[in-house]
Amino acid sequence: MKKCIIIIAVLLFSGGSFAQQNWSLRDCIDYALKHNIQIQKQEIANEQQKVELNSAKNKRLPDLSGTMSHSYSFGRAVSPKDNSYVSTNSSNSSLGLSANVPIFTGFQIPNGIELSKLNLKAATEDLNKAKEDISVNVTSSFLQVLFNEELCKVAKEQINLSKEQLGRITKMEEVGKASTAQVYEVKATLAQDELSAVQAENNRKLAILELTQLLELQTPEGFSIVSPEMEPGFGALSTPEDIYAQAIVNKPAVLAAQYRLQGMDKSIKIAQGAYYPTLSFGAGLNTRYYTMSGIDSRGFGRQLNDNFNKYFGLSLSIPIFNRYETRNRVKTAKLSYSTQALQLEESKKGLFKEIQQAYYNAVAAGAKFTSSKTAVDASEESFKLMRQKYENGKATSVEFNQVKMNLMKASSDRIQAKYDYLFRTKILDFYKGIGLAQ
């Protein structure tokens, strides 16, 4: 019983610590990189390439094998006494040990090792790309949560304004300066504001759910993020050409394509290696034991000693004609090289297009953010004036609500433009090799 109480207490404490944790963008990215399934699969693929490299290096080592056999024979056989056929039984045992060392294989082994090294580098860059992709997705989801939290604050401010308006109009009704219809109109506005707040809260929860799913968390319950002070800076943006010059040397997708192109070159040399003769060194030991019914045989140990044999030698294999298999393998390897060269070029052009699009998106987002700030300032001034007129009875509730809705829309547009611009500028930094969480 005591043990159960301790376990429950530990679980409650761990659950409480999760609920109280506020996740920063850095925390989210680090956690996703450790727990994302796609990244784990890519890490396994990377380990497989390490095994392939080890296998390629081990081809230089000699291979050693032992053999052991024992057989029985029944029926007619040649008699060693008079060289005639007789019905007899015999048994035969043999033991052997052999080794073979490759000396020259047409440079296929060293080229194979280089190919495995390049494949490992490409797999490492594939892993880096997977990490970059999940980092971008987490950053986008994190900013979406911040955006929805800001909208929740705006919705609550609208509720507070409507409640304030309702309190004022109710007092005016009590003294006969407002009609019951006006009171119900403000109540309807308050109800609409509360409905908008509920929708904003639902959107916030859905954004948190999407983020926690990216993090591979079991549940979004108790999850909250740090709301940093993130105001966009409006420094001069680097040109797409400058960003591309930095990205081309560090982006994993391009590096992986380059390594695979170099690997295709090694594949051509491996295929061409089949044109060369191969030379290997071989050595071995063997012995045997034989018995035949009706014939006196020497003892097992003596036969093994008497029949003991040792050998070594060189083996040279010269290719002459193999139905054009080598020629076709070389052609296939060259075609694969051409395909990979096009893949590399496509990766470079795709990268430049992505940077161009990110740059112009950032420019547009910056302009939208600037104009949205101006719209908010104008809406706030308009709201102040309308509020004074409404309180003095010089404006109707319809006019007041319209100006209030305009202010809410301007505030929402500004928040959206803010986080859109933050995300776009972070993407540009990402292409320049700057971490998303910095």
pLDDT value for 390:
75
Q: Quick one: pLDDT at residue 234?
A: 62
> Quick one: CA torsion of 293, 295, 301, 307, rounded to 10 degrees?
-110
The residues that bridge with 64 in the sheet, in sequence order, are: 99
**Averages of pLDDT over each 10 residues, the chain, 438 residues:** 37 39 88 92 95 95 93 72 69 92 94 96 95 92 89 88 84 79 84 91 94 91 80 74 91 94 96 95 92 75 88 94 94 96 94 93 88 85 83 76 82 84 86 78
Residues 6+ apart with CB under 8 A from 308: 285, 286, 287
Q: DSSP for 289-306?
A: EEEETTS----HHHHHHH
**Which residue, among 96, 65, 100, has the nearest Cα to 309 in the 3D structure?**
96
312 — phi, psi (to 5°)? -155, 160
Q: What is the DSSP code (8-state) at residue 279?
A: E
Answer positive or negative: Cα dihedral of 289, 294, 299, 303: negative
Query: Can you give the pLDDT at residue 2?
Result: 40
What single-letter DSSP state applies at residue 394? S
C-alpha distances out from residue 6 to 1, 3, 9, 333, 389, Å:
9, 5, 5, 65, 65
- Residue 227: the pLDDT is 78
**pLDDT for the residue 175:** 80
Domains, the chain, ranges and CATH?
23-61+105-276+321-431 (1.20.1600.10)
> What are the DSSP E strand ranges found in 242-277?
none
Place of tokens 């800001």: 150
